[in-house]
Amino acid sequence: MSALRTLSVDLGERSYPVVVGRGARHALRTLMPQGVRRIAVVTQANVPDALIPTFEGVEVHHFTIGDGEAHKSLETIQDLMRGFARAGLTRSDCVLGVGGGLVTDVAGFAAASYHRGIAVAHVATTLLAMVDAAIGGKTGVNIPEGKNLVGAFWQPCAVVCDTEALDTLPESEDRCGRGEMAKYHFIVREDLSALSLEDRIAECIRIKAEVVAGDERESGRRALLNYGHTLAHAIEVNSNWSIAHGEAVVIGLVYAAHLANVMGRIDERRVTEHYAVVQGTYGLSATLSDGFDDDALVASMKRDKKAVTSLTFVLDSSDGLEVVEGISEVHIREALTAHRRYGVSS
Ligand code: GLY
């Protein structure tokens, strides 16, 4: 095992470690809660068995959930609940999510709901789960009306980000993780590209842990972690989940820059900087397809969780990111047009 580093999400008595590095999964044995007699491993068929830690002296039950956003559903939660009950899981046992963001969101919500809440730990096996989904206690599932509309804040007792998992990560998953990583450049307004991949993962976790520690339930600054996500979630839903979350976030990041520009909050140069990070540093495509119906995108964005009374976005400004409410639909539509036209010579 190479050197591991341990970061912390500081939430008082609910604080927990995040261990990063090659072979980090083995560190989990010493991080499970005292007195656990059963562990319910929630994973997917495409997660290599080698990434699932082994435990001695406890009963381990395996639950495999389906792949794809359609399986991030209340039906999956019900199947897990019934499986946990049949396996005899009690309040002093633990759920272990082993996989990407879909697994950690679903395993976390199942743990939050079963017996009104039992312990959960995660082995993050994708870049996206490592830098975002597995950290911070947001759990949940989709309903046909929107992404992540049902869920709970439920902090894990430990997270391990085993970078060995990245050796075999499919290109599409790698792209999604790079999309979420790009987001952090705009949150801290720093160029993280000089860092090695492992250092960058640790830095993204450090930034996220610091934000979550200061605003666990998203009453303020935590909303900035949703930069790019308002359009992203609308794209995911309206593409019938054929565009993956991280890919949609990339489109959402540059769209948010266009919207801020249309509203006079940032200049063209800052829009170009957004493209430079996502396309240049991370090699990702930010093209917004003509295939999306703008009315449908706007309707989805109105259902976003941030939109309590009006269309609400995280937007850039000369002072950095902030949550902006009461955005006019005219600006939203103008920015969709500006995004589609960007870089298209007339
Ligand atoms: N993924 C955004 C958050 O955890 O707040």
Tokens matching residue 261: 């520009």
Closest among 84, 97, 107 to 47, alpha carbons compared: 97
- Cα of 131 vs its chain's centroid, Å: 8
Strands 146-153 and 94-99: unpaired
Task: Give residue 345's pLDDT.
Answer: 55
Is residue 189 part of the annotated active site? The answer reads no
Is the pLDDT at 149 greater than 50? The verdict is yes
Distance between Cα 201 and ligand 1 center (Å): 15
The two beta strands, 94-99 and 119-124, are parallel
Statement: the pTM of the whole predicted model exceeds 0.75: yes
pLDDT surpassing 80 at residue 344: no
Which member of 38, 208, 306, 339 is catalytic?
208
Ligand 1 centroid, distance to 345 Cα (angstroms): 37
Does the pLDDT at position 60 exceed 70? yes
Q: Across residues 49-60, what is the average pLDDT? A: 95
Give the pair of three-digit tokens for residue 128.
Answer: 């996206």
Structure tokens, 72: 């991030």
Which residues touch 18 (CB under 8 Å, ≥6 apart)? 6, 7, 8, 9, 135, 158, 159, 160, 161, 205, 209
Residue 343 confidence (pLDDT): 74
pLDDT averaged over the chain? 94
Which atom number of ligand 1 is nearest to the Cα of residue 211? 5
| Average pLDDT of the residues in 52-60 | 94
Residue 295, φ and ψ in degrees, nearest 5: -60, -40
Helix/strand number for the chain, H first, E second: 10, 11
Residue 279's pLDDT is: 94
CB 43 within 8 A of CB 103: yes
Number of residues assigned to the chain: 346
- pLDDT of 346 reads 42
Ligand 1 centroid from CA 89, angstroms: 29
Q: Quote the percentage of the chain above a pLDDT of 70.
A: 98
Strands lying side by side in the sheet with 38-44: 5-9, 16-21, 158-162, 119-124, 94-99, 38-44, 59-65
The distance of Cα 320 from the centroid of its chain, to the nearest Å, equals 21
| Residue 5 near residue 27, CB atoms below 8 Å | no
Taking 70 as the threshold, does the pLDDT of residue 2 lie above it? no
Q: Is the pLDDT of residue 15 over 60?
A: yes
Ligand 1 atom with the smallest distance to the CA of 223 is: 5
What pLDDT is stored for residue 127 in this prediction? Answer: 97
Q: What's the chain's Rg over C-alpha atoms? A: 20
Domains detected in the chain? 5-169 (3.40.50.1970), 175-186+216-345 (1.20.1090.10)
Closest Cα to atom 2, ligand 1: which residue? 225
- The predicted-structure confidence for 257-279, as pLDDT tens digits, reads as follows 999 999 999 999 999 999 999 99
Q: Tell me: the pLDDT tens digits for 117-129?
A: 999 999 999 999 9
Q: Give the other-Cβ count within 10 Å of 245's Cβ.
A: 25
